[in-house]
Structure 1
């Protein structure tokens, strides 16, 4: 049970330090059409610990992604730094990895926004063709009702669950990307999301036109569909979307390299302790703001944690650091929201096995019960009898996937 060939294989820079991340996007065959007024649904699934072989090809990531994709979800997966040959290396604190997930988080918010607004244009233009409306204004968007916000499921398996459970609130991430600085990692991610959503909408329109033509000609259903979003070959997208981002990253890479060489020479002479290298966000020469002309539609968030890793193992994975995401933009400081109650505030599901050797069943039961007992809690949990951390025992993977889909179908 695995995902099909990805619709898009692409890269984005991490908002933590511009490390290039490998990403995949799987567009579903159903439940994503141009004329549908229902909002899209999407999921991001984070993989296990990279030094132990974790990457976006992990079988659990693939299996969970497949059942959600089959249910009509857009699926986004990515490799944390250092996973499967990706640039960089796994950190001791997990803070860079948290920035990696925030990068994919921001990409998906922008991608979903562009899809919704693009479908609005298509629907309005189609309605104009069908009936002449005197009050119609060229370029006007269809109204997007608040209750039609897209759903975004944030999921993590094993180590990925640690990162997922410490993500900042969606309002924080939306604000981080709304006023992105030109040439920054955030603006580069916005541009990539916009371009890939445009390609998705073009493919949807091509497929829709082909299907209409096929129906009118009564073409046999065995004929290949050139407009299919799921083909044998994926669209590969690399490099940078803007020259400003490429120049900035190249400049800062050279600057960091020169600075490291200079510091090494100084240390050899006076044996001083290394100082902090200035973060790229400290530069003041990139003040131009990206005008996205986009009122961000904040998605409805829900969480899925699979085989969560709790202390003391989790503390070793984060080197006993306080795991939180803080990002300072030039001229402003966006304080992180408290993440301790997000699993309670938003619909959340944790699925674990009672034979998990990383975290005992007793500790998992106490942790999940405490969260579910909080007043107004939206947290749920399922325990699978006989399941270990890797879900290899007979029949347990199917039980876990059934629990996930039963919970998903119960969401508003």
Structure 2
């Protein structure tokens, strides 16, 4: 009976979040003294899913995903196999160097190298990793902010000094992670789009040992890995913690998008939106907070009035609307009669002679919506403002009346 009552009161809602951020990682592992295990292995991962594999026993780079096997030619696997085979002796040498620095002789030892990059569909490159480990502990890693290596152990200091002094190689590494790695990531994601962006609904269960113990929401079997788990109490979303509210307020003041804020705060995007809009009196719109001051707005208004055809999106927030400008009549009725009489007198002209005449569209209806020219920024009631009108001919100053 207690369990039945609990199910009616509480609900655990799980929402799948499509990975706007994609990642490409490679893990190289070299080992010694481990029986029945290849001395050298590599694995490539896209969004955490292994898609390539190599080891010193099979001595061949092979696909781990069906979509990867179908997407590339045999020459690709030959090239990757050669790269892995060339790297294999380097790792064996690295193990021997590490053993000397740590004053070791025999035993089981491992060297690992992990590198990769991340790409967000909205904000671009979001991160990269380039680090080495020895016997399961961090050995050396590249800090991409300063483009210098960090040595957490004294045995790695000689390597840090050597690699930091090679500025040309550091530039090559930076170029790889910001360009080439991203290009490969996008290519692999396009190859496995159907698999990588598939959705598998999670299996959710609520667990409680006894009525006084905490309740656990257990979600398994879901894909992709990014999910949002929300507790509901009598149909209402559980409140944000003080820490989450602080993160949301800070990032909102910085003008960060709500999707980014939700990821950093560890909550849903709707929770971020409700928190922001609930705290802003009279504010009904979602999205980023305005970052311009009243002084900035006055300056923007002056710019718009001087150049009505300027493409300035901030004008919308100051009451200006982007509209197709109305046509300014060029000729009055008397001038139109004179032009008509002039045209009748020239009715025997050839096509070549008429092609040199500029025609003015004096109709009061818009006959074509295909090419309306540039837009104009104006407020309500400024439709006939001379600065908000456009001429009915391309070069009105050349028309002779």
What is the TM-score with the length of structure 2 in the denominator? 0.20
Q: Which has the higher strand share?
A: 2
State the structure with more CA Rg. 2
More contact order relative to length (CA 8 Å, sep ≥ 6)? 1
